[in-house]
Amino acid sequence: MTEDATENGHEPGEEWLREHDRGGDGDSAEMFDAAAELERLAAENATLKEQALRYAAEAENTRRRAEREANDARAFAIQRFARDLLDASDNLARAVAHAPKESADATVKNFVLGVEMTEKALQGAFERNGVKRVDPARGDRFDPHLHQAMMEQPAADLAPGSVLSVMQVGYELFGRILRPALVAVSAKAPAAAEPANPYAQGATDAAGAELDTKA
């Protein structure tokens, strides 16, 4: 018994017990409310974190879409102009390939050097603006997205469907083909002829006719 309950020399009554029980229930209620508040805050934090991740992903997708659209707009703006310059580039390349490089004439040498520098400058301008050459090497696999087969030729040293030679280089702009490379492709090996079957119907008839004649 406690001192306040036995101060007057009698047992504690029901009213005193009820008051102390109410005090214990209040502490339990406060702890329950605190736990519920923590759970609510944790759920709210998880929701906010999920929203932040979703917003970050949407922002990244928007950035990529804007970058792609900007590249598409840039490519469309120069696509026609670049395609019109391809003929000039081809003519310069032909001039460089057939130029008399061993000429002793200084004027001819300077002219050839000027053509080579012009062709090199044009290719540099192409590269800086996203126009790249499509020039497959011998033995590369034929790619229908980048190459256009102009002919097939047998080649014992290459697998069928390989590039034999380039007839005209191609160009692409930011991954989009401006002009496919014109190539010759190694042909498939001809199918081996099946040996004649001596027991076929025609051979049997011929053999029977020969026997009848001899008879």
Give the CATH number of the domain where residue 148 resides. 2.30.22.10
35 within a domain of the structure (yes/no): no
For the beta sheet containing 147-153, the strands, ordered from the edge strand earlier in sequence to the opposite edge, are 147-153, 181-186, 163-168
48-105 per-position pLDDT tens digit? 888 888 888 899 999 999 888 887 777 777 888 888 899 999 999 899 888 887 888 8
Cα angle: 116, vertex 120, 169; to 5 degrees:
100
204 within a domain of the structure (yes/no): no
4-31 per-position pLDDT tens digit? 544 454 455 556 555 555 555 556 667 7
Provide the number of structural domains found in the chain: 1
171 within a domain of the structure (yes/no): yes
Q: Is the pLDDT of residue 1 over 50?
A: no
Domain span holding position 161: 130-190
213 within a domain of the structure (yes/no): no
Phi-psi region of 24 (alpha: psi -120 to 50; beta: other; left: phi over 0): alpha
Name, in order, each residue with C-beta under 8 angstroms of 78's C-beta and a sequence gap of 6 or more: 129, 130, 173
65 within a domain of the structure (yes/no): no
For residue 119, give the nearest of 208, 59, 79, 111 by alpha carbon: 111
Question: Greater confidence, 97 or 191?
Answer: 97
140 within a domain of the structure (yes/no): yes
147 within a domain of the structure (yes/no): yes
146 within a domain of the structure (yes/no): yes
140-183 per-position pLDDT tens digit? 999 999 999 999 998 888 889 899 999 999 999 888 899 999 99
